[in-house]
Structure 1
Amino acid sequence: MSVTLEIQPSNIGVLTINRPHVRNALDWDAMDSFRECIETAHEDSKLRALILTGGGNAFIAGGDLRALHENTSQKDGIRLSGVMTNALNRLEALPFPVIAAINGPARGGGAEIALACDFRIVAQDTTFGFVQINLGLSPGWGAGQRLLHIVGYSHALEILMTGRILDANEMQTLGLANRITPKGQALIGAMDLAKEISKKPANAIKALKRMLRTGISTPRSTAELLEQSEFPPLWNSEEHILAVEQFLNRKKKSEE
């Protein structure tokens, strides 16, 4: 299988694009499998986090140009954009954290996939670029808007218009990378973050993601209403009440 979803005993999923002979570039079959894996993740109520990575020494090189070269009509372009835009919107809509483990080059559509994740953990030797402009293209899977929200208008426009390649340090400076790991350890770093978050109350984690995702796409007043609606059930939850009791007991013991 060129795209796999493995569920760890810790209820952390690992979605791997495994086409290392083409730096994990996606052909039509891989795109369909990718979308199916995302839907499987949506159906698993026990999942606490999802890690997305590439096999071998690359993350994802985007679309497989050799496989897609015969499909050059506007109808083909609509299909390609539609399939992957839908898949990445569904990836983004997962209720738990989605973490990209970027273990090497991420180009074009691979950079687009990375931006649909909540976090990006990158190896020190990672390189990252929206190279579509070099092929006379713009991003077609939603990354233009995602990049704009992360780095701002001027940085986003410059990155997209020049197609220049960013290293791990510049990615972190721009807010495109959350953490940098040594070479070859992006997946380990992503798993560490997933486990760290998974120790927190699941309902609160899901509420936080809903709140901030809503804030990206709606007016502030609407997002604040959602934030207010999320708080009362969390305040009344067993997890919150138990955590407060444990805190007060620890404080009481320290004062004795």
Structure 2
Amino acid sequence: MENNVSHSSEEAAIASICENFRTHQSGCFVLDKDDASGVATLTICNPTRKNAISGSMMVQLRDTITQLEQWQQGKAVIIYGAEGSFCSGGDMNTVRQITTTEGGRQMSILMQYNLKRLQNLHLLTVALIQGKAIGGGAELTTACDFRLMTKRAQLGFVHVRMGITPGWGGGSRLVKLLGPSLALDLLTSGKQLNGDEAKRIGLVNDVLDCDENDIDDVLLKCKQWLQQYVKGAPETIRAIKAIVVSAMDNTLPDALKKELEIFLTVWGGPMHRNALSQNLKHR
């Protein structure tokens, strides 16, 4: 009961913040779900602002994640920016209107809520980084399961240049990804990494060999890379992701209980029985 009350209170607070932020309008997110492949694309579309995320886009992101949570055919989602640039963080037109402590608090709460839900999404998530992913754009990538960069792309936590810290949860996630020393290196220097540098320290999974001026080729290479992870059935992939999410958020005893619960949702199911009948384990 206490958890339900807490969740309801959080949802009410988020709804109130959304009413304030939806008036700061610029750009949009474009979601394209492909039921046949189970792979969706989510485009950050605000190219005149280097795909910065406005207040209205922060609200739309909340609603888009809800659509992905409800997508039963889904296996994965690829997040990328329109017109060759990933995301430059918060839209300055929005930011300039919320420079009070309360304004910053509301933005941080909303985006931490959004990116935590993205991280917990029972789909595989891929940040496909072209151009620049800086500031809040870099923070967004840390909420994804996989990060891919093109050769000329740059990734940087440049908050220090603006006299601020990460506020969307990216600082904390960066420490978990790289450890405190490397996280401090990136956060205090504000340096921007190319694909090879980011891969060397373990921040990105791979650097794509593609025509960076052709978004169709970039997406094709990304989907080809992703194919190795989406061969399973949607319910199996979502169950595996749920186990990983549980392990990140819980103590080992609680995570083990959750793993058992998830395991029993697929054990003896249609996909399991079919695999047993065909002896697929040893193929």
TM superposition score normalised by structure 1: 0.89
- Percent identity of equivalent pairs: 30
2:144 paired with 1:117: yes
2:35 paired with 1:3: no
Who is 2:107 aligned against?
A: 80
Instruction: Note the aligned Cα RMSD (angstroms).
Output: 2.1
Counterpart residue type for residue 132 of structure 1: H
| Counterparts of 1:69 and 1:249, CA distance in 2 | 57
SS of structure 2 residue aligned to 1:240: helix
Who is 2:123 aligned against?
A: 96
| Counterparts of 1:233 and 1:82, CA distance in 2 | 33
| Counterparts of 1:211 and 1:197, CA distance in 2 | 16
2:198 paired with 1:132: no
Deviation, structure 1 residue 78: 1.0
SS of structure 2 residue aligned to 1:70: coil
Identify which of 221, 224, 237 aligns with 1:189.
221
Who is 1:236 aligned against?
A: 268
Equivalent pair of 2:74/2:234 in contact (CA under 8 Å): no
Deviation, structure 1 residue 158: 1.5
The 5 Å alignment of 1:155-234 reads: 155-183=182-210, 184=212, 185-234=217-266
The 5 Å alignment of 1:61-76 reads: 61-76=88-103
Q: Call closer, same or farther: CA 1:46–1:250 in 2, change over 3 Å.
A: closer
Deviation, structure 1 residue 250: 8.0
SS of structure 2 residue aligned to 1:56: helix
Q: Call closer, same or farther: CA 1:37–1:154 in 2, change over 3 Å.
A: same
Who is 1:254 aligned against?
A: none
The CA deviation string for residues 74-101 of structure 1, in whole angstroms up to 9 with x for no partner, is 1110111112111111212221111111
| Counterparts of 2:97 and 2:282, CA distance in 1 | 67
The CA deviation string for residues 190-241 of structure 1, in whole angstroms up to 9 with x for no partner, is 3224444332122321222122222222222322332333334434223223
SS of structure 1 residue aligned to 2:279: helix
SS of structure 1 residue aligned to 2:164: coil
**Higher mean displacement: 207-216 or 74-83:** 207-216
Q: Call closer, same or farther: CA 1:26–1:250 in 2, change over 3 Å.
A: closer
How many residue pairs match? The answer is 251
| Counterparts of 2:144 and 2:104, CA distance in 1 | 24
2:74 paired with 1:47: yes
The CA deviation string for residues 47-105 of structure 1, in whole angstroms up to 9 with x for no partner, is 22111110012100101124421321011101111121111112122211111111121
Question: Structure 2 stretches of 5 or more lacking a match?
Answer: 1-26
Q: Call closer, same or farther: CA 1:56–1:229 in 2, change over 3 Å.
A: same
Q: Call closer, same or farther: CA 1:195–1:14 in 2, change over 3 Å.
A: same
Question: Structure 1 stretches of 5 or more lacking a match?
Answer: 252-256
| Counterparts of 2:237 and 2:282, CA distance in 1 | 24
Counterpart residue type for residue 46 of structure 1: Q
